[in-house]
Amino acid sequence: MDNLYYKTKLYLEANSKTESEFVENIRLRDDGSGGYIKTWNVDGLAKPNDSQLNALATNATKEYNNAEVRIARKTAYGDIGEQLDLLYKDIVADKLDTTGEWAKKIKAVKDANAKE
């Protein structure tokens, strides 16, 4: 179902529609035998068929994987207050470059959770 969301989102974008139109006009469902579009009320755009959606599968998988990476990164970055504290300490130590502790932490998180 996750890939169906991303395939549908990409289909909308390819046809000059916005994500808000997705939220307001489309309902996806999965009754146990696979995801499907239950409701489609997008003005001026026909509901996509399986062939149209499957043509977007590679990019949809990439978007799904990158969304998972963003979630993992957000957790690994930790509390914003701690990040600001690291930045302040780097400013005081005149290390607002890649040698600073904040930069090292962010790089480590990005390296451990690389996007496609």
Read off the pLDDT of residues 75-111 as tens digits, 9 standing for 90 and up: 999 999 999 999 999 999 999 999 999 999 999 999 9
User: Does a structural domain hold residue 112?
Assistant: yes
For 6-20, what is each residue's pLDDT tens digit? 999 999 999 999 989
Q: Please, what is the end-to-end C-alpha distance for the chain in angstroms?
A: 20
User: Does a structural domain hold residue 55?
Assistant: yes
Mean pLDDT of 49-68: 95
User: Does a structural domain hold residue 98?
Assistant: yes
Q: Containing H/E element for 39?
A: strand 35-40
User: What domain range is 28 assigned to?
Assistant: 1-63
Q: What percent of the chain has pLDDT over 70?
A: 98
The answer to whether 36 and 28 have CB atoms below 8 angstroms apart is yes
Same domain, 49 and 84: no
**Could you give the number of structural domains in the chain?**
2
User: Does a structural domain hold residue 31?
Assistant: yes
pLDDT at 61: 95
Same domain, 54 and 99: no
Tell which residue, 37, 25, 48, 26, has the closest CA to residue 1.
Answer: 37
User: Does a structural domain hold residue 70?
Assistant: no
C-alpha distances out from residue 75 to 69, 72, 79, Å: 10, 5, 8
Residue with tokens 């998972």: 68
User: Does a structural domain hold residue 72?
Assistant: no
Give the C-alpha separation, 114 to 110, whole Å: 6
